[in-house]
Amino acid sequence: MNLSWMAWTLPTATFFIVIGLLIAGMAVWEYFSPGGHPRVGVLRFETTRGDRLFISLLGSGFIHLAWLGLVGPDLWWALALSLVYAFCVFRFV
C-alpha cells in the first residue's frame, strides 16, 4: 500500500506514537486500577484520569503555540513546561 500521500516524517510519526503509547498506558492503568479514579480538584468539578490526560494534551498544544508565538521556535522549553503542566494537572485537577 502506497502511503506517500500521507507524507510521513520521523518527528510526526514519533508524535503520534507517543500519543498512542499514552492512550495505551492509560488503558493498562485502567486495567490494574479500574474506575478512572474520579475526583474533584482545583477546577471544582469531577475529572477522571482520561479527562486529566485530555486537559494535559490540549493545554500542551496551547502552551506550544503560545511559546512559538511569544518566544520563538525553540520548543524544548515549551515541552518542559508542558510536562510540568501535565504533572500539575494529574496532581491537582
Partner 1 sequence: MDRTWNNKAWFLVLPVLLLVAFSAIIPLMTVVNYSVQDTFGNNVFFWVGVEWFEELLHSPRFWQALLRNLIFSAIILAIQIPLGVFIALNMPRRGWGVSVCLVLMALPLLIPWNVVGTIWQVFGRVDIGLLGYTLARLGINYNYVQDPLAAWVTVIVMDIWHWTSLVVLLCYAGLVSIPDAYFQAAKIDGASRWSVFRYIQLPKMNRVLLIAVLLRFMDSFMIYTEPFVVTGGGPGNETTFLSIDLVKMAIGQFDVGPAAAMSLVYFLIVLLVCWVFYTVMTNYGEESGR
Q: Are 38 and 75 in contact (CB under 8 A)?
A: no
Shortest reach from residue 12's CB to partner 1, in Å: 5
Q: Which is nearer to partner 1, 25 or 61 (CB)?
A: 61
Residues that bind partner 1 (CB under 8 A): 4-9, 11-12, 15-16, 34, 45-46, 54-55, 58, 61-62, 65, 68-69, 73, 75
Shortest reach from residue 91's CB to partner 1, in Å: 19
SS3 7: coil
89, 91, 92, 93 alpha-carbon torsion, rounded to 10°: 50
Q: Which is nearer to partner 1, 17 or 88 (CB)?
A: 17
Q: Which residues 6+ apart lie within 8 Å of 52 measured at CB?
A: 89, 90, 93
